[in-house]
Every structure is written in structure tokens, then in C-alpha cells.
Amino acid sequence: MHPFLFFILKTPHFTPFVSRFGYIGIVLWFITFDQLTPIPEEISLLIIGYLCVHNVFNPVFAGISSLVGFLIIDSIYFILSKKGSSLIKKKTEGSSSFMESYRNKLKHHTFKAVFVVCFIPRMRLFAPILAGSIGLPFKKFLLFDVVALTAFTTVYILLGIIFNRSLGAVITQTKGLQNIVFFATVAIIAITLIFFIRKRNKNKNHKEEDAAIAER
């Protein structure tokens, strides 16, 4: 079985981690391990919604904890970008065309740009990075980021809750199957997101290669 699929189906790190450390665990996950693992933030939020249905978390407090984690990591990236950190430069390598396009949108349509990129898989962190690089006031960025992240967090936690409850109503006597189907669906979503990300990166590389050839 593909190791990433196994990771999603069994969640050997995420679920035990946040269950053990509670709401603080959610915050810690998003500011540490989430930055190092391939699991998309959308999947983490879906699983948090799932855990809320099973009374591991209160959905409101879980959402607030997730939001706090996102805001902390976004603030860190914003500050590092503003200071010209080499870490940020490495993170943005190979994304020149997207960066330039998004930078222009961020200057002229700040809120819309921050909100839209928040819902693009694995691209959300470009918002604080570019906001810091163009000298956008931190308070202004933070205000827009709070609104966008609140919507982002709410949507995915609710999806996790709604799907699990809808499934439970259909197969009330087969809870084991309910869990299997839920995590199988999460795995499918994860694979779809990964496919989308890889396809987008592949298309982006082709465009950059064509541009380089045209310049010659």
C-alpha cells in the first residue's frame, strides 16, 4: 500500500497526537508537524471534524485552536519574509510565475487575493510570504487573514462533521464500516488534492520552460 495512503487511512500520527494533547495539540500540529508532512491542511481539518462527531473535541474550540495555529504560522512566515529570510527564498523557488501574478493581485485586490489563495491546496502560505515581501502592513494582512482562515477552517471542519453524521444515519448499525468509509473518502480527497497539486506544478514548469525558450 502506498505509504501516504496508509498514513491517511490509519492516521498514526495526527489523531493520537491531537487526542493526547487536546486543543493545544491542534495548535502545535499546525505550527510544527503540518509544515513537515505531505498531508494537506484540508485533510487535517476533515479529521478534526470527524473527531468532533466522536466527542473528542468541541467543534467551536477545535475551530478556534486550528485558527490560532494557522495565524501563528502565517505571522511567522510574514515576519521572515519581511526580513528577507533565506528559508523563505528556498520555499518560493520554482514558483516565480505564480509569485509575480499573485503579487500584483495582492497589491490591488488584497482581501480577494488572500481569500482565494486560502482555498487553493498547498498554496495558502504564499499569502503571508508575499504580503511580507511587498511591505503590506501586518495589521491589514492579519485582518484579512483572520476572515479568510475563519471561512477556510469552518468549511472543512463542517464537511468532516456533516459527512460523518450523514454516513452514520445511513449505516447506524455498522459503525466499523462507517469509520472505514470515512477514512477511505478522506484518502480519496487527499489523493485528488495531490494529483491536482502535481498537475498544477507540472503545467507551471512547462509554461516556464516555454517562456525561457521564447526569450532565446
Tell me if the pTM is above 0.85: no
pLDDT band at 169 (very low <50, low <70, confident <90, very high): low
Sign of the dihedral defined by the CA atoms of residues 113, 115, 120, 125, in that order:
positive
Residue corresponding to grid cell 480527497: 189
Task: Retrieve residue 101's grid coordinates.
Answer: 501574478
Summarize the confidence of residues 60-65 as an average pLDDT.
95
DSSP 32: T
State how far the Cα of 127 lies from the Cα of 141, in Å rounded to an integer.
Answer: 9
Whether the pLDDT of residue 61 is over 90: the answer is yes
Cell (9 digits) for 79: 515576519
Q: Which three cell numbers stand for residue 163?
A: 459527512
Residue carrying the nine cell digits 497539486: 197
- Other beta carbons within 10 angstroms of residue 128's beta carbon come to 28
Tell me what percent of the residues of the chain surpass a pLDDT of 70: 62
In whole angstroms, give the CA distance from residue 189 to residue 157.
Answer: 14
Considering only residues 3 and 108, tell me which one the structure prediction assigns the higher pLDDT: 108
Query: So where are the chain's domains?
Result: 3-210
User: Residue 86 and residue 88: Cα distance in Å, rounded?
Assistant: 5
